[in-house]
């Protein structure tokens, strides 16, 4: 589902060591997340497709595609 202001991360915050968002061209985007990584403010990003990358505490990565209105 397209998002416009915030996205919710459904992973226990103690397992997340970093969250990054990248454009389809691979450029890292500046976004704000709250202290426990459960919600990411995407309101400053332009409409389009982005990739969210979670770095977990065991150094594994999870990537998900998101669409922003």
With contact defined as beta carbons under 8 Å apart, do 52 and 33 qualify? no
* pLDDT for the residue numbered 1: 62
Phi, psi of 34 (to 5 degrees): -75, 175
Q: How far, in whole angstroms, is CA 39 from its chain's centroid?
A: 9
- Mean pLDDT value of segment 29-57: 83
pTM for this prediction: 0.82
pLDDT at 35 over 60: no
* pLDDT for the residue numbered 14: 78
The Cα-based distances of 15 to 3, 19, 40, 62 in angstroms read 24, 11, 16, 12
The Cα-based distances of 34 to 17, 49, 50 in angstroms read 13, 22, 19
Higher pLDDT, 61 or 18: 61
């Amino acid at each position: 589902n397209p998002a416009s202001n915030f996205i919710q991360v459904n992973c226990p915050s103690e397992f997340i060591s970093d969250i990054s968002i990248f454009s389809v061209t691979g450029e890292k985007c500046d976004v704000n997340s709250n202290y426990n990584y459960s919600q990411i403010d995407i309101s400053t990003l332009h409409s389009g497709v982005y990739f969210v990358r979670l770095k977990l505490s065991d150094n594994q990565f999870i990537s998900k595609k998101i669409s922003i209105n």
